């Protein structure tokens, strides 16, 4: 490996709550988080992006190009702030792994694709660091879902010799990595279980103008509506075999209204919030083999205490803990994973797991924008 071992990971998730930027040292097999920075998304841009990612958005190609550039500059600002606060020179960083802001994820049909915004040319130009982006497209081209991509990273750094583990990431969408013990020789699996924070955030924003339900307190004030929950659970996605992936272009308020129809208005908003939190917990629990030894949680959803309580309610026999117990801060897990994916690409190594995405085989992911 080259003398330098620093990579930067950028993650702008489906919750649109900010850009996570991490500086990671890969000198050893265990990644070391050297520095981190949460970069705010300007309110005006955040509002536009929320509108932009709605299925009924009717903007223009000019709008899309503008957002592509704005996000490229935003990601560059996040990197430069990270470099400044950590006293790191661009020359010390081998590459940036930029996930990009997902505009649309459509991995099935005659013309599958996944489109992320945030011009990597700009990131390279404004940071003077080689940037790797567009990680999902190659996996989709090889017949995969293009998601989730983090199971390969989880397998590399979190698999245990004798215990089976599940790593649960609760972002806007929830996904799991199923890591059998190394001794078992079973394949690693991974897929999106369904909504994570996305519906919860959208519902509270619509009714209380808050971006998220802090600690799940508003949801806790309501009562779970079993009839509503059972109707939502009937969606075909939840019974699809894996590999499978989804996004906020599917699980959104329009989906909620279309599924429940006029009956949605028959319930108190806080009761719907409680039910949506339990929907996330229930669909995660339904996706997990209860014979696994340990479940570790990362992502923003770990801070929704009511959600974690409901998850424990549905999985009473499984030990549930934060990935912090494994040495990786749950708030920075995905950004670290994309730093690792950039490293894989730069070293000419595969970044996907076909058993998780459904691709025809291992593939080197992403496009490299050389500084």
What pLDDT is stored for residue 46 in this prediction? Answer: 85
Give the CATH number of domain 6-146+332-369: 3.30.420.40
For the stretch 107-164, pLDDT in tens is 999 999 999 999 999 999 999 999 999 999 999 999 999 999 999 999 999 999 999 9
Residues 6 or more apart from 311 whose CB is under 8 A from it? 281, 284, 285, 297, 320
| CA gap 28, 47 in Å, rounded | 41
Residue 1, pLDDT > 60, answer no
Query: pLDDT class for 15, splitting at 50, 70, 90?
Result: low
The predicted structure's pLDDT at residue 53: 72
User: Mean pLDDT over residues 333-359, rounded?
Assistant: 97
User: Is the confidence at residue 60, as pLDDT, over 60?
Assistant: yes
Q: How confident is the model at residue 48 (pLDDT cuts 50, 70, 90)?
A: confident
Q: Are 210 and 257 in contact (CB under 8 A)?
A: no
Cα three-residue angle 36-39-44, rounded to 5 degrees: 170
Residue-level pLDDT at 29: 83
Indicate the domain borders of the chain. 6-146+332-369, 150-326
What gap in Å lies between CA 279 and CA 224, rounded to an integer? 9
> 150-326 maps to which CATH number?
3.30.420.40
**Mean pLDDT, the chain, integer:** 94
Percent of the chain with pLDDT over 90: 87
Residue 14's pLDDT is 63
pLDDT at res. 59: 81
Q: Which residue has the tokens 């894996």?
A: 242
Angle, alpha carbons 365-344-289 (nearest 5°): 80
List pLDDT tens digits, range 221-270: 999 999 999 999 999 999 999 999 999 889 999 999 999 999 999 999 99
């Amino acid at each position: 490996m080259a003398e330098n071992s620093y990579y930067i990971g950028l993650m702008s998730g489906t919750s649109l709550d900010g850009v996570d930027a991490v500086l990671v040292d890969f000198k050893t097999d265990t990644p070391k988080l050297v520095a981190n920075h949460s970069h705010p998304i300007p309110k005006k841009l955040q509002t536009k992006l929320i509108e932009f990612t709605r299925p009924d958005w009717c903007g223009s190609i000019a709008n899309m190009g503008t957002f592509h550039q704005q996000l490229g500059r935003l990601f560059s600002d996040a990197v430069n702030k990270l470099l400044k606060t950590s006293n790191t020179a661009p020359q010390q960083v081998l590459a940036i792994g930029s996930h990009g802001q997902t505009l649309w994820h459509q991995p099935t049909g005659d013309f599958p694709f996944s489109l992320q915004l945030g011009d990597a040319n700009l990131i390279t130009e404004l940071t003077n660091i080689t940037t790797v982006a567009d990680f999902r497209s190659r996996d989709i081209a090889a017949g995969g879902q293009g998601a989730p991509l983090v199971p390969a990273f989880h397998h590399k750094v979190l698999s245990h010799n004798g215990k089976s583990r599940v790593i649960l990431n609760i972002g806007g969408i929830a996904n799991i990595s199923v890591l059998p013990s190394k001794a078992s020789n079973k394949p690693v699996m991974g897929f999106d279980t369904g909504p994570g924070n996305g519906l919860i955030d959208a519902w509270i924003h619509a009714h209380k103008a808050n971006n998220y339900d802090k600690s799940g307190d508003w949801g806790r004030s309501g009562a779970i509506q079993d009839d509503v929950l059972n109707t939502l659970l009937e969606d075909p996605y939840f019974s699809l075999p894996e590999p499978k992936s989804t996004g906020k272009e599917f699980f959104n308020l329009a989906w909620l209204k279309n599924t429940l129809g006029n009956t949605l208005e028959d319930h108190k908003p806080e009761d719907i919030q409680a039910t949506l939190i339990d929907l996330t917990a229930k669909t995660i629990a339904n996706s997990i083999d209860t014979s696994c030894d340990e479940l570790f949680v990362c992502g923003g959803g770990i801070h929704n205490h009511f959600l974690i309580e409901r998850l424990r309610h549905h999985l009473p026999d499984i030990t549930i803990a934060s990935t912090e117990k494994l040495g990786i801060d749950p708030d920075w897990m995905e950004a670290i994973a994309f730093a690792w994916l950039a490293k894989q690409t730069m070293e000419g190594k595969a970044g996907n797991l076909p058993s998780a995405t459904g691709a025809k085989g291992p593939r080197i992911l992403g496009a490299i924008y050389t500084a």
